[in-house]
Chain A
Amino acid sequence: MTGVASPPELRRLLAAMPVPADLPLPPPAAVLAAVEEAGLVGRGGGGFPTARKLAAVAGGRRRSVLVANGAEGEPLSQKDALLLTVAPGLVLDGIALAAHAVGATVAYLCLHRGSPALPAVRAALAARSGGVEVRLRETPDRYVASEESALVRLLSGGRALPTSRPPLPAERGVRRAPTLVLNVETLAGIALAVRGGAEAYRTVGDPAEPGTLLVTVAGAVPAPGVVELPTGTPVGFALEAAGATRESVGAVLTGGYGGAWLGRDAAWWAPLTYAGLRSVGGVLGPGLLAVLPPGGSACGLAETARIARYLAGESAGQCGPCVFGLPAIAGALEAVVQAGPDAAEAAAAVRRWTASVAGRGACRHPDGAARLVDSALRAFVDDVAGHVHGRPCGSLLRVLPVPEPSTEDRS
């Protein structure tokens, strides 16, 4: 893992200030108020206001459960592992504060199996002497395993597969208890907002989605890694922090493999907020940007076809539209890339099926895969035209890594 140097004065989450274990906890109402006033927005990919998630579980009569999600299912994402390595004390303080605020007596800290952050997290846990019980859990290294309901099911003694909603985890979560699931970066943000004050928290970043943001920059850049920037910073600045220049970027995959492609010009000035990226057809997701080089040295459609095939294999296998739709979409996109006589028909099938599968799974896995493929047809429209007219892409350069299918029991 490479850490990209953020300017030190911008670092909040990655400031690596030692956080003393077992700091005193303010009253629950004060924690809730600070998070509300700070305007903290979740950093796991959903972009939901954190205060509302807390409020949905706080104040109930039943004992609740907190799940700290550091499982990082997106293959290219490194930001949670870096945060947990550099500032595990900050995350644990956020866990203590959030658990206290919602009346949780147990918290699960979830990392994927073999996470590079495990040693730092274990050391930080050993330094604690009281407070909420924090149980470290390693989750299967699988795309859908880090989804909220999949974690709840795993922690309830089942397999790490998404479940149908309702009920929401806040209503009936881990072993039927009301459950609050928050990303570890969100929890670190809670610690910053409560300990430093909501006003100070709001002094950086976009007014509607304040604070700083961890962004993983991957793909064809000289120095891939994680950078911390104020929310609202243009995408191009994050790419420059990883050594890219405007000329070295052809297209940007925003939001990860369940995200969306943007052409270089659409992406460059887009602000790094949920709303900002959405407004240009991109996705912030868990703060992921992957760069494709310009000028025909790589094929965005071929990259997308490989990712689509990977995502099809990562389906939990529970919902028909995902089980059948994702392999069909991947196969049709492969046919487009091969530029055979059936390429035009295949392109039409891709469009029909991506529109069909969205919103028809228990989780958002099919939605993300469909969005990725649909965005590729738009961002690489010239390549689509070339392929349907029988011109395959000359390049075999592979830019974005796709994990090998695992043979171990991934439940």
Chain B
Amino acid sequence: MSGKRTAGGVRIGIDRVACRGHGLCAGLLPEAVTLDDWGYPVLSRTHLPAELRRPARRAAAACPTLALRLSTSEVPE
């Protein structure tokens, strides 16, 4: 794992107070999000490579409470 900054990588996080468990993120970004027994998101990974940037943005925009947060990331390779 290198700390090298990879262009276009993205880090995802969830604002747990804002999240209401709508679950759209798991449908739009199954590569990184699954749902627990009550429908709340579990992140299987938080650093995403550039090729997942677009679905991550779509998932963030689709969240009714805007609880899925994106930030630029240093992607481990």
Contacts and interface: CB of A to CB of B under 8 A. Distances in A.
Interface of A: 163-164, 318-321, 324-325, 328, 353, 356, 360-362
Interface of B: 14-21, 36-40, 42
Contacts of B16: 164, 318-321, 360-362
Contact of B42 (A318, A319, A324, A356): A356
A360 B46 CA distance: 13
A356 B37 contact: yes
B19 A320 contact: yes
A353 B36 CA distance: 9
B37 A320 contact: no
Nearest to A161: B17
Contacts, number: 39
Contact of B38 (A164, A324, A362): A324
Contacts of A353: 37
The main secondary structure of chain B at its interface with chain A is loop
B37 A328 contact: yes
A163 B17 contact: yes
A164 B15 contact: yes
B40 A318 contact: no
30 contacts: A164-B15, A164-B16, A164-B17, A164-B18, A318-B17, A319-B17, A319-B19, A320-B16, A320-B20, A320-B21, A320-B38, A320-B39, A320-B40, A321-B16, A321-B36, A321-B38, A321-B40, A324-B37, A324-B38, A324-B40, A328-B37, A353-B37, A356-B36, A356-B37, A360-B16, A360-B40, A360-B42, A361-B16, A362-B15, A362-B17
B12 to A, nearest CB: 14
A328 B20 CA distance: 18
Contacts of A328: 37
Contacts of A318: 16-17
Nearest to B40: A320
Contacts of B15: 164, 362
A362 B20 CA distance: 13
Nearest to B71: A166
Nearest to A324: B38
Nearest to A360: B16
Nearest to A328: B37
A362 to B, nearest CB: 5
Given A324-B40, A356-B36, 14 more contacts: A163-B17, A164-B15, A318-B17, A320-B16, A320-B19, A320-B20, A320-B39, A320-B40, A325-B38, A328-B37, A356-B42, A360-B14, A360-B16, A361-B16
The 7 A-B residue pairs with the shortest CB-CB distance in the complex, in nearest-first order = A320-B40, A319-B16, A324-B38, A318-B17, A164-B15, A320-B21, A164-B17
A356 B36 CA distance: 8
Contacts of B42: 356, 360
B73 to A, nearest CB: 15
A148 to B, nearest CB: 15
A77 to B, nearest CB: 26
B71 to A, nearest CB: 10
Nearest to A322: B16
Contacts of B36: 321, 325, 356
B67 to A, nearest CB: 9
A391 B39 CA distance: 34
Nearest to A352: B37
Nearest to B16: A319
B40 to A, nearest CB: 4
Nearest to A361: B16
A321 B18 CA distance: 12
A164 B17 CA distance: 6
A368 B16 CA distance: 16
B49 to A, nearest CB: 23
A356 B38 CA distance: 11
Contacts of B39: 320
B22 to A, nearest CB: 10
Most buried by A among B17, B18, B19, B21: B17
Contacts of B20: 320
A114 to B, nearest CB: 28
Contacts of B19: 319-320
B44 to A, nearest CB: 12
A308 B29 CA distance: 34
Nearest to B21: A320
B36 to A, nearest CB: 5
